[in-house]
Amino acid sequence: MNYDVVEVTIDKLISTFRLREWQYDIEDMVEDIVQALRFIGAQKVFAELAIPLTVNSKVFKLPRDCQHVMYIDEKSQYYRESGNFIEIDKDDGTEVILYYQAIPVDTRGYPLIPDAPEVTEAIMWYLAKVLILQKEITHISYATADAEWDWRCGSARAALNSLNLQQVNQMYQNFVRLNPVKDAHAANYENVSKANTLDRNKHNDVYRDRTS
């Protein structure tokens, strides 16, 4: 997945709504962009990370960039989230591996935005909503901006959840290998694991040749 820095989206916002420098604050926008990414919530928004942490009094603190806890050590390990902490039945000093999702950041600690026009448009309208509430944008109603955000948020989520060509091909190969070939056992399973393009009769000639 390719990513853009926040300035790509902010520049689009500025040019679209013709904002002046005194009408916005970059640091505030960065926080709003993080919130918009959370609302979009697609898998590709997040990076999957793993970090060792030490248990103290049967708890440990979550990393600041943690958005979603995936699992700890093994997927069967029981734990409970309590605010910014994880409660776990482990002895003091035990080191555990936390697997979690985080929003990727650049060297400044600013979030990186997935390089997709649908995502850029969605976040731009979310920022516009905030600026309308702050009365920095007055020529567009909040209802209009909210409707644009709502529609574009779904569009961004769909774009990020869509499969690329390699994933589609892999899914196809997995499916056609599971598609049962009639009387495969009579052909000693000769063509099992080969793609049959959903044509159940394609390999039946093998059976007829062996039984004729």
Predicted TM-score (pTM) above 0.75: no
Least confident segment among 58-67, 73-82, 126-135, 196-205: 196-205
Tell whether the model's pLDDT for residue 117 goes beyond 60. yes
Give CA torsion, residues 168, 170, 173, 177, to 10 deg.
-120
Is 165 buried (19+), middle (13-18) or exposed (0-12) by CB count in 10 A?
A: exposed
Tell whether the model's pLDDT for residue 109 goes beyond 60. yes
Domain count, the chain: 3
Tell whether the model's pLDDT for residue 198 goes beyond 70. no
Tokens of residue 164, six digits: 């690329």
Spatial separation of the C-alpha atoms in residues 144 and 198, rounded to whole Å: 47
Spatial separation of the C-alpha atoms in residues 120 and 139, rounded to whole Å: 21
What is the mean pLDDT of the segment spanning 169-178?
Answer: 54
Q: Tens digits of per-residue pLDDT, 49-89?
A: 999 999 999 999 999 888 899 999 887 889 999 989 999 99
The domain that holds 87 is classified in CATH as: 2.60.40
Domain co-membership, 177 together with 93: no
User: How many other CB atoms are found less than 10 A from the CB of residue 29?
Assistant: 21
Residue 206: per-residue pLDDT: 47
Q: Residue 44 — pLDDT band, cuts 50, 70, 90?
A: confident
The domain in which residue 22 lies consists of 3-43+107-161
Domain co-membership, 194 together with 98: no
Domain co-membership, 117 together with 88: no
